[in-house]
Amino acid sequence: MSRRCIVFTAIVPGEEEDPANSTGAIAASLVEALAGLGWQAEHRKFDGDLQKVLDDLRADPPGFVFNLVESFLATDRLAFVATGIYEAARVPFAGSGSFGLMAGTDKLIAKRLLTEAGIPTPHYAEGPHWAGLKDDRPYIVKAIAEHASLGLDNDAVVTGRAAVEARAGQWEAKFGGKTFAEEFITGREFNVAMIETPEGGRVLPLAEMDFTGFPEGKHRIIDYAAKWREDSDEYRHTNRRFIDEAAEPQLAAELRRISLKVWEMFDLGGWARVDFRVAADGTPYVIDINVNPDISHDAGLAMAALRDGISYSALIDAIVQAGLRRAAS
C-alpha cells in the first residue's frame, strides 16, 4: 500500500486572514507529524472541479487522506462534500464520514436527533416564526451551521422574542448565514473529547471550562474572543481544567455515557468532541457536537489525550489506524 498521505483543508498556508481560519497552519504541523510516522504527506486545498478531485483520487489513490476540510463553497454546511468524495473514491480517510459531518454540523438536525433519542439538549426556536420561544427565559442566538463561534459575543445572550429577533437579524445581515435561539443554561460547561479505538469510541479525561476572573454581568460562554483573540480578557480568563472524576462519580459517568451514545448515534469516527452545559440540578445538556474538531498539538483534544498518557504522535497514529480499519471493514 502507498505510504502517501494527502492532508486536505479548505485553505492553504498564507490564506489565513482570521485567526479562526487556522487549519492551514494545523495542516503544516500535521504533515510534519505524519512524516514522523513514515507517511509522505502533502497538503492540498480541497476546491475546484470536484469531478477532477474524484478522478485524481481514483487514478492515483493515496494510502490515506487526513481530512481537515471544515467548509466548502464558503459554508460549513457543505463540509460533508469532501468526505462524500473520499467515500466515492474509496480511499481511507481520517475522521467522521458524510453522515456524521452533515448531521453534526447542522445544529438543528443534531438537536432533533438528540431530542428523539431522549438525550437532554436545551430548548430551542428558529425563525422566522420562533415558535415555542418563551419570553421569560434567556436564549443564546447561535449560527446553525458555522463553526469557530463565528460572531458570538456577550450580546448573543438575550431575553424575549424581540431581542432574539433583533440579534438574529443583526448576525444574519453581517455574516449571511442562518441562526437559531437556544435556551441559555447557566451553570458549568464541559468539553468531552473522544477518539476511535478498535473497540469503538473512547472518552478521554473530562475537561471543564473555568471562567474564573469573568466580571459580574459577563456571561460564562466560550465566545469568539475566548477562542481566538489572545489579547482579550475572554481569552485570558477562559481556561481548561480536568476534573477529579472520583469526586463527582455520578456526573462523570453521565457525561461519559451520553458522549458515547452521541458517538454511536452520529456514527462518529477518528476524533470528536461533545460540549455540555450542566444545569444547577446536575442535568448535562448537549449544546454542540464537534465533528473533526481542532487537532493541533495544543488544542483541547490533544491535551485530553496527553492527560490520558497519549502523546501527540500516538494520537495522530491512532486516528490514522482507525481510518484504515474502517476502510478495510
Segment 231-240 shows an average pLDDT of: 86
Is 214 a domain residue? no
Output DSSP code: residue 75.
Answer: B
- Which of the four pLDDT bands, split at 50, 70 and 90, describes residue 217? confident
- Over the stretch 244-302, which tens digit does the pLDDT of each residue have? 999 999 999 999 999 999 999 999 999 999 999 999 999 999 999 999 999 999 999 99
Question: 300 with 241: CB under 8 angstroms?
Answer: no
What the block records as the C-alpha cell of 79 is 463540509
How many domains is the chain built from?
3
Q: Cis link prior to 128 (omega < 30° from 0)?
A: yes
What are residue 27's phi and psi, to 5 degrees?
Answer: -60, -40
- List the domain range (segments joined by +) for residue 263: 103-120+186-206+243-328
DSSP H helices in the chain? 23-36, 50-59, 80-89, 98-105, 107-116, 161-175, 224-228, 233-236, 249-265, 300-307, 312-328
Is 230 a domain residue? no
pLDDT at 229 over 90: no
Is 211 a domain residue? no
- In terms of domains, do 196 and 324 share one? yes
**Single-letter amino acid code for the residue at 161:** R
- In terms of domains, do 34 and 131 share one? no
Segment 118-141 shows an average pLDDT of: 95
- Over the stretch 67-92, which tens digit does the pLDDT of each residue have? 999 889 888 889 999 999 999 999 99
Domain at 201, CATH number: 3.30.470.20
End-to-end CA distance of the chain: 16
Q: What's the pLDDT at 16?
A: 58
